[in-house]
Amino acid sequence: MDNDLLTDQDVIWHYTSIDALTAMCESENTNLYATLSSFCNDNEEGKGLECFDSSFRDDISKKLDDTIKKIVKDFDSNEGEKGYSAKNILLSGIIGGIIMGVIGAALAAGATALIAERNKKENNSFKDKIAQMTKNIIDEYDVFVLCFSHQGDSLPQWRSYTYNGGVAIGFSKKELVDKLKNTYKKKYDKNGYVFFTENQTNGTENYWIAIGKCIYKKEDFQKFFTDTIVQNILEKTDFNDSFFHQTGTQLEKIQENFLDISKLFFVCLPFFLKNESFISEDEERILIIQKKERRKETVKFIANKPRIKTGFTNVLDLIQGIIISPHGNKERNRTYAKYFSSVSNKKFSVKDSKSPYNGW
């Protein structure tokens, strides 16, 4: 195996059996499949939403508060001339509204102290509303996971995922993302995380695809989630002079935008948090998220697990390289891998693992 391929952070590795490799490559109509999250080996999959406790609520509130205060600093200095108080409008109405929007409640259009006080009382139930949102997500959506690793020759992963022998298949993350861009509408692309939505003729978005690295520490996930929400609210909202003179209808439009952003992240991001016990896997993953009502039309039971197509066809020509597991029938597995390389347009390399493992 070329050392450059093993050290290239764009190359991500999928550990699997030789039978799965054969299924991927035996015809042009094959596909990469993602597995329903509840059938994965981490029984805490999707538990990221449990991080949204009261301290996390306070962190989101403070971050939004501090960030938007900076944006309206110039407006505050001119509030007397303009005949309105940007500070009162923002801090009494909009901040509370944004936080409420993040958890699926209404974004208050008013800026009076009375409305602000009402929002303050409603915000005290943040934790309850998060719990309700979590329940709604669990009730409405299936999340399917396709796992990769940035570690191409990892003994713990050979033991976990190829215990009867198998391979690690290398793919280019950039190439996978480019393939998705050609099929789906991109919704978010920052810091190595890319989210897409299915193109619906009626404008409804009930199918998402996300790709990114797993996070293994709760505090890192909370910071990432908060920064992501704030960043997108600021990017999607034009905080200029006219913002403070918008009508209720216009504010409703902003509300819809905030809710759209929030729903996407609340559904997707929790599935990038994994238990710290798995940190050595250095995982990159692709998520397929869809309404449960679509199970009959899209889900197949393959190798004893419910799976869904990810949309990557002609898998053979996406492979960058293959590493043969250190145990199992290495000669047979090597023969299969070399054959697939010979009929691939890339003629990828096939090498044995360097792990001295008998697999007894």
The predicted pLDDT at position 250 comes to 47
More confident residue, 261 or 218: 218
34-48, 72-86, 275-289: segment of lowest average pLDDT:
72-86
More confident residue, 260 or 33: 33
Secondary structure percentages of the chain, helix, strand, coil, to 5: 50, 20, 25
The predicted pLDDT at position 155 comes to 92
Name the band, by pLDDT with cuts 50, 70 and 90, for residue 133. Answer: low
Structural domain spans, the chain? 32-147+175-312
Comparing CA positions, the residue from 165, 193, 149 lying closest to residue 281 is 149
Look up residue 214 and give its two tokens. 């797993």
Comparing CA positions, the residue from 340, 287, 349 lying closest to residue 314 is 340
pLDDT in tens, 99-120: 444 433 323 333 333 334 444 4
Name the band, by pLDDT with cuts 50, 70 and 90, for residue 52. Answer: low
Cα 279 to Cα 298: distance, rounded to the nearest angstrom: 31
Q: Dihedral of CA 284/290/292/296: which sign?
A: negative
Cα 60 to Cα 70: distance, rounded to the nearest angstrom: 16
Alpha carbon of residue 311 to chain centroid: 17
Alpha carbons within 13 angstroms on the beta-carbon side of residue 338 total 9
Task: Name the H helices within 14-109.
Answer: 18-25, 54-71, 73-77, 79-82, 86-89, 95-102
Say which amino acid occupies 202.
N
123-127, 129-133, 199-203: segment of lowest average pLDDT:
123-127
The predicted pLDDT at position 101 comes to 43
Name the band, by pLDDT with cuts 50, 70 and 90, for residue 221. Answer: confident
pLDDT in tens, 31-40: 889 999 888 8
Residue with token string 């993602």: 34
Look up residue 175 and give its two tokens. 């190439």
Highest mean pLDDT: which range of 231-240, 285-294, 349-358: 285-294
Name the band, by pLDDT with cuts 50, 70 and 90, for residue 44. Answer: confident
Mean pLDDT of 133-149: 85
Phi, psi torsion values for 145, nearest 5 degrees: -125, 135
Q: Cβ(11)–Cβ(170) under 8 Å?
A: yes
- Residue 285: in which H helix or E strand, if any? strand 283-291
164-178, 279-293, 297-311: segment of lowest average pLDDT:
297-311
pLDDT surpasses 60 at 84: no
Phi, psi torsion values for 349, nearest 5 degrees: -80, 150
Q: Which long-range contacts (CB under 8 A, 24 or more apart) does 215-222 make?
A: 215/272, 215/273, 215/274, 216/273, 216/274, 216/275, 216/276, 216/278, 216/279, 217/276, 218/51, 218/273, 221/48, 221/51, 221/269, 221/272, 221/273, 222/51, 222/56, 222/59
pLDDT surpasses 90 at 9: no
Burial class of residue 91 (count of CB atoms within 10 Å of its CB; 0-12, 13-18, 19+): middle
pLDDT in tens, 152-188: 999 999 988 887 789 999 999 999 999 998 888 888 8
pLDDT surpasses 60 at 73: no
Q: Cβ(39)–Cβ(147) under 8 Å?
A: no
Comparing CA positions, the residue from 287, 209, 281 lying closest to residue 36 is 287
pTM of structure: 0.78
The predicted pLDDT at position 281 comes to 94
Cα 329 to Cα 319: distance, rounded to the nearest angstrom: 22
The predicted pLDDT at position 306 comes to 93
